[in-house]
Amino acid sequence: MEAIRTVTVLGIGLMGRPMAENLLKAGFAVRAWNRTRAKAEPLAALGARVCDTPGQAAEGADCVVTMLEKGPVVTEVLFASDLPSKAAPGTLVVDMSSIPPSLARDHAARLAERGLAHLDAPVSGGTAGAAAASLAIMVGGAAADFARAQPVFAALGRATHVGPDGAGQMTKLANQAIVAITIGAVAEGLLLASAGGADPAAVRQAIAGGFCDSRILELHGQRMIERNWVPGGKCSIHLKDMDTVLETAAELNLDLPLTKAVRQQFAELVADGKDQADHAALLLWLEARNGPYRVGNLPDRFAS
């Protein structure tokens, strides 16, 4: 099994850029492509080669990492660009985007026909995890390909092999459902405490370490108290993922009532123009239903 030395990153956005930076720090030769080239240009100063097309970036690479917005975009980049004609047989394609499990399985089969290996490896941890190289990486695909990709994953976070093609995406859907429901629970708890006269910042500190403690309480709870809606994970992206959760659940004949309820809250928040806000801004939907109660007295902070 040949070691991976050259890694292509397709998609240099909020997540892709810090991931590419960490791959450079780990000693990989990195090639970068983004539809808007200007977003990838800063990586050149760090030693990356910025390319004009996906195929140009993939040519000669051992591993191609995709971190793109949604399934149709991944399909377009993998199959409707110059990538299939430029990537060498045996190249490992690691899709770290969040897409439907059925689409991940389709991509794996189509790439195999072209002699390319595939792992679906979505992540959790947001921009903070991407920057700190502490992402939770959920990987579906062949065990041998997972083993081959370990050095790449080690530069980005902690990877777990969860099953065959599509299993990584299925795990991400479980993650997104749990995250969304927990954000809603934290928002309701902090608003309840605030309306009842308690200091929400002190409440968060008091319950940390107890049964309800979580990364959501730690990070998103802090965002709610600071009223910081500059996105780490956008409401629009989480709504997209919740739609995928429910579509997949329907295929499995599952009824997920909590997921349905929180998905509707995100849909109303996005319709209200908060699509680019961090998903912790679900608190704003709750406060709109419960005025004049509010968590804290700080002004709301959105991305400029």
pLDDT in tens, 67-95: 998 999 999 999 999 999 999 999 999 99
- Tell me which of 25, 70, 172, 234 is the catalytic residue: 172
Query: Of all residues in the chain, what percent carry a pLDDT higher than 90?
Result: 94
Of residues 146, 148, 170, 173, the one with CA closest to residue 160? 146
| Structural domains of the chain, ranges and CATH numbers in brackets | 6-165 (3.40.50.720), 170-289 (1.10.1040.10)
Question: Would you state the structure tokens that stand for residue 277, as one six-digit string?
Answer: 């806000």
The confidence score (pLDDT) of residue 166 equals 97
The confidence score (pLDDT) of residue 126 equals 85
Of residues 227, 244, 238, 245, the one with CA closest to residue 276? 238
Judge whether residue 234 has pLDDT over 60. yes
- Mean pLDDT estimate for the chain: 96
The owner of tokens 């599952």 is 254
Confidence of residue 117 (pLDDT cuts 50, 70, 90): very high
Judge whether residue 1 has pLDDT over 60. no
86 is a catalytic site residue: no
Judge whether residue 258 has pLDDT over 60. yes
Residues 6+ apart with CB under 8 A from 282: 180, 183, 184, 187, 235, 262, 265, 266, 269
The string of pLDDT tens digits covering residues 143-158 is 999 999 999 999 999 9
The confidence score (pLDDT) of residue 2 equals 73
Contacts of 105-112 with CB under 8 Å at 24 or more apart are: 105/165, 105/166, 107/74, 107/75, 107/78, 108/141, 108/165, 108/166, 109/165, 110/78, 110/79, 111/78
The confidence score (pLDDT) of residue 233 equals 87
The confidence score (pLDDT) of residue 232 equals 86
> In 250-276, which positions are buried (b, 16+ CB within 10 angstroms) versus exposed (e)?
eeeeeebeebeebbebbeebbeeebbb
Judge whether residue 248 has pLDDT over 70. yes
Judge whether residue 182 has pLDDT over 90. yes
How far is the C-alpha of 272 from the C-alpha of 252, rounded, in Å?
Answer: 32
Q: Is the bond preceding 292 in cis, omega lying within 30 degrees of 0?
A: yes
How far is the C-alpha of 179 from the C-alpha of 223, rounded, in Å?
Answer: 15
